[in-house]
Every structure is written in C-alpha cells, then in structure tokens.
Amino acid sequence: MEKLECPHCGSPLGRGVAVCGECGKEVSDEGKPMPEGPLPQEEKRGSKNIYAILAVFLVVVGGTALLMYSGLLPNPVKGGSTAAIVNGEKISTAEVDRKLEVYKKMYGQSGKLDSSSPEGKATLADMRRQILQTLIQDKVLVTEAVKEKITVSPQEIAERIAAIKKGMKFSDKDFEDFLKNHAMSIANFEKRIENEFLIARLIAKGAQEKGLTKDAWVNELNARAKVEILAK
C-alpha cells in the first residue's frame, strides 16, 4: 500500500483524510494539496453562466417594470380590487359595486331602469363613474381632515345615529333592516357618519381660518390632492 504523506509538512496521512492533523491544511485523498489558485476552467464557466443568467433576469425584470410603468404592459398591482388611489389611500372596486347595486335596486323597483338594455347599460356606466367621483371627492376631504388633525369622538357618532333613528322613527330592528336594504353594516354606517363630521369640520376650518368660501376651499384641496383612477 502506498504511504500517504501531507504535501505541506510531510506528516503521515490516513486514506480519505481531508485535513492534516499536524499542520491543519487541506489535502486531497491522494495526499495532494487542495488547489488554492484560480478556479479550473469549467468552474469559471459555471460561475460566468450563473452571473449571465442573473444579469438577464435583472434586465428582464427591470424591463418589465419599465414597460408596466409606461403603460405598455398591464400592471398586476393596478386595477382589479382597487378603483382609485387618493392621497395614498385606496378606494376598492367592491365599495363602488356595493353602492351601484343599491342604486340599481332603487331604480329597478321604480321601473326607471332596465339594466339589460343598451340605454340601461349606458346609464349604469355613467352612474358608476359618478359614484366613483363622489367617493374620490369624499376621500380627498377626509384625508385632508386627518392631515389637519380633525377628530370625531365615538360619542358624537352614537348621538348622531340615535338622532337619525329618532327622526325616522326607527326601532333598532327597523334600523337594522334599513342598513341591510342599503347593503351596509353598522360599522359602515358609523364610518359614514364619522366622515360627514370630518368633512363638515374641514369646510368650517377653511372658512374660519383661511377666509375661503366652501367652493374655493374644496377647489384648493382638490388641486393639491394626489388622485390616480385605475377603474375605467
């Protein structure tokens, strides 16, 4: 049997030993030093291939992002569940659809809308645009009210809802049915009341502190709002 020695220090080695017990340097199982210089040509090629694939991947991803940004490719983040983004906050298509369904139900019961006819479809499309514009306007004002640190207390919301129920002579059950018919939960309704408070106080603040009319103040807020409409 051939005697194996460490090529670095000459100490005897056992077969299959990868590290010399005396000097601590790596050796091959034939007693030869492990290569410390440049990688063999095949390994170099393998490394180059990996970097080439990575480079192509980055180009493709970057190019795709650029195309989506420019509008030449659809952006999967846009559209879908989001109808618009106002000052960084989303308006969902579900919210628009929910309000549209309420209007369809109201007009359908009155016999004023046939949603299956071309005229009815055009009316619904126009109605949908109007609903979205209303939601956008409300979102602009509510987000500005939050920026102005305007707040509404839970007690104020509860008192307003109690006043509404009293004015409409609704029992708790009647009120629940009313909300159900309008595709709303109590949480949705409370949020709506809160937003009404916020908008009213924002308008009042513009008049008191800036001396602006309601229209002038709203126009100023709209002009500085960041709005992106994703739904057509």
Mapped onto helix, strand or coil, the DSSP state of residue 5 is strand
Q: Which CATH fold topology does 82-229 show?
A: Triger factor/SurA peptide-binding fold (1.10.4030)
d(Cα 175, Cα 158) in Å, to the nearest integer?
14
Give me 169's structure tokens: 């002579």
CA dihedral 185, 191, 197, 201 (to 10 degrees): -160
pLDDT tens digits, one per residue of 149-167: 999 999 999 999 999 999 9
Residues 6+ apart with CB under 8 A from 102: 182, 183
The helix (run of H) or strand (run of E) holding residue 93 is helix 93-110
Q: What per-residue confidence (pLDDT) applies to 35? A: 45
Which pLDDT tens digits describe the chain residue by residue (232 residues)?
455 677 767 767 666 656 665 665 666 544 444 444 444 554 445 545 544 544 444 444 444 333 333 333 344 444 459 999 999 999 999 989 988 888 777 766 665 667 678 887 888 889 899 999 999 999 999 999 999 999 999 999 999 999 999 999 999 999 999 888 877 899 989 999 999 999 999 999 988 888 889 999 999 999 999 999 987 6
Angle between helices 118-147 and 93-110 (to 10 degrees): 130
Q: What per-residue confidence (pLDDT) applies to 210? A: 85
Name the residue ranges covered by the structural domains of the chain. 1-37, 44-76, 82-229
Q: What per-residue confidence (pLDDT) applies to 190? A: 95
Q: What per-residue confidence (pLDDT) applies to 229? A: 92
**pTM of this prediction?**
0.59
